[in-house]
């Protein structure tokens, strides 16, 4: 079965889908995106993702391409046409196509909307979680608004590649002040010696993850204490556990950071419990 993409009102074969070479995201990274998990056919935490999309659009003064009901319909249609039961749906909105000039194009320039979906093997994800991943730390060289989910991901891509070449699955980005902000494509967490979850506050220096928000809800239900504060690389090395969160990897235990074992070098019980509860409606307070 060939993959199907939605591009500006049409469902087309993925391999034949295209966008203008004048697209503002191609020229200037002038676009935003979301990645939403499809869990047993359901768009998980769709509300949070659509709210964040609207926020990203407002921050960049980007016109929404369509109303929310229509967008929800398109997301479901792309999931259905690609027969995705477990996987992800990707959506990207750009400021449209216009002759290359830095300032915004004419107000009537239509935004470009692309939606794709792809399956993901949940069993493979769980197997990976039970092994845990390695992380390296790198300087956070991004711009000062990573709270906006833009497609401007070059520093993130460079960091991910460096991690891969070092045999790691993620890079934790460290600010000039020595504190870990987040992962190149995930939020970063540690568990301290008293079993408390520590993660960077959702200010302008990180992306406020929808998965992160869900973990905070689960922690509240399970009476796990949480401290939203920045932590250092040294604290990470000394942590009892570490993990990352994001729509593609959910809660993924981290067992090595910069080659040092975290805790006993195996996925920690807090991270695995959070992962185990992730899709459980009983742990949702909202």
Q: Which residues are catalytic?
A: 149
Reduced to 3 states, what is the DSSP secondary structure of residue 228?
strand
Q: Does 25 bind ligand PDD (CB under 6 A)?
A: no
User: Minimum distance from CB of 98 to ligand PDD (Å)?
Assistant: 26
218 Cα distance to chain centroid? 18
Which residues have C-beta within 8 Å of that of residue 273, sequence separation ≥ 6?
222
Instruction: Single out the residue of 246, 263, 267, 268 in contact with ligand PDD (rule: CB under 6 A).
Output: 246
Number of shown-chain residues binding ligand PDD (CB under 6 A): 15
N residues, the chain: 286
Of the pair 105, 175, the CB lying nearest ligand PDD is at: 175
Backbone angles phi, psi at 20, to 5 degrees: -55, 145
Strand partners, 180: 174, 231
User: Minimum distance from CB of 101 to ligand PDD (Å)?
Assistant: 28
Of the pair 19, 216, the CB lying nearest ligand PDD is at: 216
User: Minimum distance from CB of 119 to ligand PDD (Å)?
Assistant: 15
| Stretch 104-143: interaction string toward ligand PDD, x if CB under 6 A | ----------------------------------------
| Stretch 157-196: interaction string toward ligand PDD, x if CB under 6 A | -------------------------x--xxx---------
Instruction: Single out the residue of 205, 236, 245, 283 in contact with ligand PDD (rule: CB under 6 A).
Output: 245
285 burial (CB, 10 Å; 0-12 / 13-18 / 19+) is: exposed
Q: Does 205 bind ligand PDD (CB under 6 A)?
A: no
Name the pairing type of β-strands 112-119 and 231-232: unpaired
Of the pair 45, 97, the CB lying nearest ligand PDD is at: 45
CA dihedral 64, 65, 69, 73 (to 10 degrees): -140
Taking the CB of residue 94, how many other CB atoms lie within 10 A of it? Answer: 25
Helix (H) or strand (E) holding 74: helix 68-81
50 close to 71: Cβ distance less than 8 angstroms: yes
User: Minimum distance from CB of 186 to ligand PDD (Å)?
Assistant: 5
Which residues have C-beta within 8 Å of that of residue 153, sequence separation ≥ 6?
29
Instruction: Single out the residue of 43, 74, 169, 210 in contact with ligand PDD (rule: CB under 6 A).
Output: 210
Q: Does 209 bind ligand PDD (CB under 6 A)?
A: yes
Measure the CA–CA gap between 26 and 21, rounded to whole angstroms.
7
Of the pair 147, 258, the CB lying nearest ligand PDD is at: 147
Q: Does 207 bind ligand PDD (CB under 6 A)?
A: yes
Find, among 165, 174, 159, 170, the residue nearest to 234 by Cα: 174
Instruction: Single out the residue of 84, 133, 247, 274 in contact with ligand PDD (rule: CB under 6 A).
Output: 247
Contact residues: ligand PDD, CB under 6 A: 35, 156, 182, 185-187, 207, 209-212, 245-248
């Amino acid at each position: 079965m060939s993959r199907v993409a939605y591009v500006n009102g049409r469902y087309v074969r993925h391999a034949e889908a295209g966008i203008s070479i004048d697209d503002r995201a191609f020229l200037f990274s002038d676009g935003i995106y979301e990645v939403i998990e499809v869990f047993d056919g359901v768009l998980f935490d769709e509300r949070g993702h659509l709210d964040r999309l609207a926020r990203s659009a407002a921050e960049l003064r980007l016109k929404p391409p369509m109303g929310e009901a229509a967008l929800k319909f398109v997301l479901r249609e792309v999931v259905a046409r690609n027969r995705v039961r477990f996987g992800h749906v990707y959506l990207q909105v750009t400021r449209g196509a216009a002759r290359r000039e830095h300032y915004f194009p004419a107000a009537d320039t239509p935004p470009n909307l692309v939606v794709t979906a792809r399956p993901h093997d949940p069993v493979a994800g769980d197997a990976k979680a039970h092994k845990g991943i390695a992380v390296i730390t790198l300087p956070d060289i991004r711009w000062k608004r990573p709270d906006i989910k833009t497609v401007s991901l070059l520093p993130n891509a460079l960091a991910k590649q460096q991690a891969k070449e070092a045999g790691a699955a993620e890079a934790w980005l460290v600010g000039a002040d020595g504190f870990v902000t987040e992962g190149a494509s995930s939020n970063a967490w540690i568990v301290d010696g008293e079993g408390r979850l520590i993660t960077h506050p959702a200010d302008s220096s990180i992306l406020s993850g929808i998965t992160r928000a869900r973990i905070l809800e689960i922690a509240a239900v399970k009476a796990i204490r949480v401290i939203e504060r920045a932590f250092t690389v040294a604290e990470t090395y000394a942590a009892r556990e570490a993990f990352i969160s994001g729509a593609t990897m959910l809660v993924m235990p981290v067992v090595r950071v910069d080659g040092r074992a975290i805790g006993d070098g195996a996925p920690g019980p807090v991270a695995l419990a959070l992962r185990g509860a992730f899709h459980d409606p009983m742990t949702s307070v909202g």
